[in-house]
Amino acid sequence: MKHFLDINTTDPADLRSIIDSALARKQARAGRPKGMPDDDLALEGRMVALIFEKPSTRTRVSFDVGVRQMGGQTMVLSGKEMQLGHGETIADTARVLSRYVDLIMIRTFEEAVLLELAEFADVPVINGLTDRSHPCQIMADILTFEEHRGPIAGKKVVWSGDGNNVCASFLHAAGQFGFDLTFTGPQVLDPEDVFVGEARRKGAQITIERDPFKAVEGADLVVTDTWLSMHDSQSAQERRHNLLRPYQVNEELMKAAGPEALFMHCLPAHRGEEATSAVMDGPQSVIFDEAENRLHVQKAIMRWCLAG
Ligand code: CP
Ligand code: NVA
């Protein structure tokens, strides 16, 4: 079964083929109306369940549109409305859904839910974000970087802010795609040691630098994300804001990074907090390309899951 659960657990050659196929197929349908199906209808006759236990705009719409462009059908389900949210086990849910649908995408809280769903499903499962990772997003980010700057291998990515789920997937990708990553943020919000160690073992240079201005020197890409993720307690907001304010990506920080550095944010953003509007709407920002590329890369991921 070809699940797409995380970047660090997917073969690097498969990751590369997903990026390359996403780019080729994006180019092939350039300029077409968004509702027009692809020529080869790779998901014709297929039914895809999209399960959301957390809010979403991009993941929900891009998966739904992607499946339809490929000729398949979708069912968008909210965790709360399913028996899953009322005590039915994940294993039973997985076995039942496998009798109805050909592929499952899930956005959930605990990673254990994703892993158990994948263990008991007879159909491929795709990770649409957990508290610990967001692999579809970083696949879209790699595609976006390479469209603008060429191969990401050997480049310097700087993550400024919270060492959260999106940061974790960047660390996974550093190990698999062979780029260097500098994390700059407060020590209490460092990414998990296990992810840093794994990326280093795979040969990526991972640096922890508390000074954001030193961190961004020579950066090819500066990335940030919200200071309070969906799984974080609202009560932590003030403390997190105080800790993270020095790591805001603003024009001064982008100036230190240099004019060639791109700026990324997975969105949704809190303008004026983790990044200023001047940066988000500025010449180095590729945030809306990232959002668009969710569609193209996820189509390639679904194609990969269902092939063979
Ligand atoms: N970046 C991202 O996953 O956005 P949504 O939460 O809107 O899906
Ligand atoms: N880190 C954010 C990403 C949202 C796409 C969250 O988990 O809420």
* Residue the block writes with tokens 């891009």: 62
- Tell whether the model's pLDDT for residue 85 goes beyond 90: no
**pLDDT, tens only, 269-294:** 999 999 999 999 999 999 999 999 99
- Tell whether the model's pLDDT for residue 308 goes beyond 80: no
Task: Give the pLDDT confidence score for residue 79 in this predicted structure.
Answer: 87
* CA neighbor of 4 nearest in space, from 185, 155, 133, 164: 133
**pLDDT, tens only, 187-237:** 999 999 999 999 999 999 999 999 999 999 999 999 999 999 999 999 999
* Pairing, β 221-224 against β 156-160: parallel
Task: Give the pLDDT confidence score for residue 163 in this predicted structure.
Answer: 98
- Structure confidence at residue 84 as a pLDDT band (50, 70, 90): confident
State the sign of the Cα–Cα–Cα–Cα dihedral 179, 180, 185, 188. Answer: positive
Which residue CA neighbors atom 2 of ligand 2 most closely? 229
Tell me the catalytic residues: 107, 134, 137, 225, 266, 294
Residues with CB under 6 A from ligand 2: 129, 164-166, 225-226, 229-230, 266
Q: Is the omega angle on the peptide bond into residue 33 within 30 degrees of 0, that is, cis?
A: no
Task: Give the pLDDT confidence score for residue 53 in this predicted structure.
Answer: 96
Which residue CA neighbors atom 7 of ligand 1 most closely? 57
